[in-house]
Chain A
Amino acid sequence: MASSSSLGRVLTLCKRFQSVFRISPAISVQHCAVNLKRCQNNLLSFVGQRRALHTTVSRRGLEEFFDQPENWGEPNVKSGAPWTAKQLRTKSNEDLHKLWYVLLKERNMLLTLAQEAKRQSLQMPSPERMKKIERSMVRLDTVVRERETALRLLQTGQEKGRPGDWRRNVFGYEYWYRFKEYTIPWYMNKRHERKKFYTPHFVQPHIRLRIERFLRERARKVNLKRKTLAKLKERFPQMKLPSS
């Protein structure tokens, strides 16, 4: 029963991926590059327009901010399940890059729809689409980060991309201090000199009081747990002791 349901799930799950942007051998790299050059030539001929708008095969304007015309005015729009991280891990980097922009455009479309519905004081049709898109994008980002971390570990042995250090602040707390990027070195930075990464001597009594308070709270929690267990045993004599 479990195997058939999972097979059914695998065969009939549907994702967000516009067919126009389907990566196939037909759309080759040179085609995209040619389009890019063509766009640039067209636009550079106009005075004042400097940026190339898009490099995709289809060239559409503001319609992409709106849903397809057949869905206009409908109270419910059908949408499939979101992408899972397992499926995204099987896709190449180029596919993920293109999928990100497809999802982004869909997200912009949904946000426009939500804003317009709010403006007209109506309910947005099928708001669960926003959550699905958000989750897909988050999972895509996670997959890309995983790949980056793996490569970084191989090449440098560092797990984190941004350098940091364990530092102690003025209040006696040790925390992970994330480095910032500056144009001048630390010995020339007057503002950075004023930062204190040490605990002064007069803070020690306060730290001791803090430790005492923490120990007291922990003892109270343990006592409370023991007392509630005793009370539960009294009220429900046949109960099994919870594993936690």
Chain B
Amino acid sequence: MRLTALLSMAARVVAPKDYRYGTNRPWTEAAKRMNPPGKRRKKVFVEPIEAEDWAILKGDMVEILAGKDKGKQGKVIQVFRRRNWVILEGLNTHFRYVGKVKDYRGTYVASEAPLLLRDVALVDPSDRKPTQIEWKYTEEGERVRVSSRTGRIIPKPVVERRDGIVPLQWKDGPKDTSPEDALEKTYVPSLKTLEEEVMEKLGIQEHRRHQKSYWY
């Protein structure tokens, strides 16, 4: 047990208390370059937003209200809840060189900078203008986002699963259990342990008796 704990400790990334989290994950090289071990940076104050009040989800259409690309609409690619950031596809970009090697300056690539939540607003699908959102309950009891200007419900964007499976279009492979088999109930509660039941079913007889041992 202790060896596995040690190994998991080594695998986990420990960040200091005043670590400044950026767009790169802490275990990547870029993050290590931006946060070398001895650096101290000023603390970042993030406006606290309750988890249930969070309105902008990944895949939403959103308009920028302030900044370089003011007035443009784009799709949300990534959301950073801890820093109130959203990254839009192809908007608010700056240019940088990627993959620099000696004697080769690298590829000139447009990379998106994160936008604060304050500077973006969800787009109302009916008139395609930015609106403020309220969370309200429908007749069925479902919690939905309602635009305060027009009163239209803004549906949640369809996010595909991380493993890429689309449930309604799935076809079973040779190693997959069919849904009927997976949902079949075969459990009959009894006062036997798994070992006893399996031994009974396989006809294994244990004739050895336990030697007296001491636990302390």
Contact = CB atoms under 8 A, between A and B. Distances in A.
B184 to A, nearest CB: 7
A167 to B, nearest CB: 11
A29 B201 contact: yes
Contacts of B170: 12-14, 80
A148 B50 contact: no
Given A80-B170, A179-B216, A186-B216, A236 B47 contact: yes
A10 B203 contact: no
B213 interface: yes
A73 interface: no
Q: Which of B182, B184, B197, B203 has the most CB of A within 10 A?
A: B182
Contacts, number: 143
Interface residues of A, number: 66
Contact of A183 (B142, B186, B197, B213): B213
A41 interface: no
B178 to A, nearest CB: 7
A82 B45 CA distance: 40
Contacts of A16: 175-177
Contacts of A5: 167
B194 interface: yes
Contact of B179 (A12, A132, A181, A235): A12
Interface string B157-198: 000000101011010111111110111111110011110011
B48 A17 contact: no
Interface in B13-65: 45, 47-48, 50
Query: How large, as a class, is the contact surface on chain B?
Result: 35 or more
A219 to B, nearest CB: 17
A106 B173 CA distance: 14
B45 A235 contact: yes
Given A8-B168, A97-B194, A183-B213, A90 B163 contact: no
Contact of A15 (B182, B192, B193, B198): B182
B104 interface: no
A23 B173 contact: no
Given A14-B179, A97-B198, A185 B47 contact: no
B202 interface: yes
B167 A9 contact: yes
Contacts of B95: none
B175 A183 contact: no
Contacts of B186: 23, 90-92, 95
Nearest to A98: B198
Q: Which of A12, A181, A235 has the most CB of B within 10 A?
A: A12
B116 to A, nearest CB: 11
A235 to B, nearest CB: 5
A151 B213 CA distance: 23
B173 A14 contact: yes
A85 interface: no
B181 A183 contact: no
A90 B182 CA distance: 9
A92 B191 CA distance: 13
A90 B183 contact: yes
A95 B186 CA distance: 8
A78 B163 CA distance: 10
A219 B184 CA distance: 55
A186 B214 CA distance: 8
A185 B174 contact: no
A231 B43 CA distance: 11
B203 A33 contact: yes
Given A13-B167, A242-B48, 14 more contacts: A12-B170, A14-B177, A17-B176, A29-B201, A32-B201, A79-B175, A90-B186, A92-B188, A148-B193, A185-B216, A192-B216, A228-B45, A231-B45, A232-B48
* Nearest 7 interchain pairs by C-beta: A14-B176, A17-B177, A15-B177, A80-B176, A92-B186, A93-B194, A179-B215
Interface of A: 1-2, 5, 8-19, 22-23, 29, 32-33, 36, 55, 68, 78-81, 83, 87, 89-97, 106, 128, 132, 144, 147-148, 151, 154-155, 163, 179-186, 192, 228, 231-232, 235-236, 239-240, 242-243
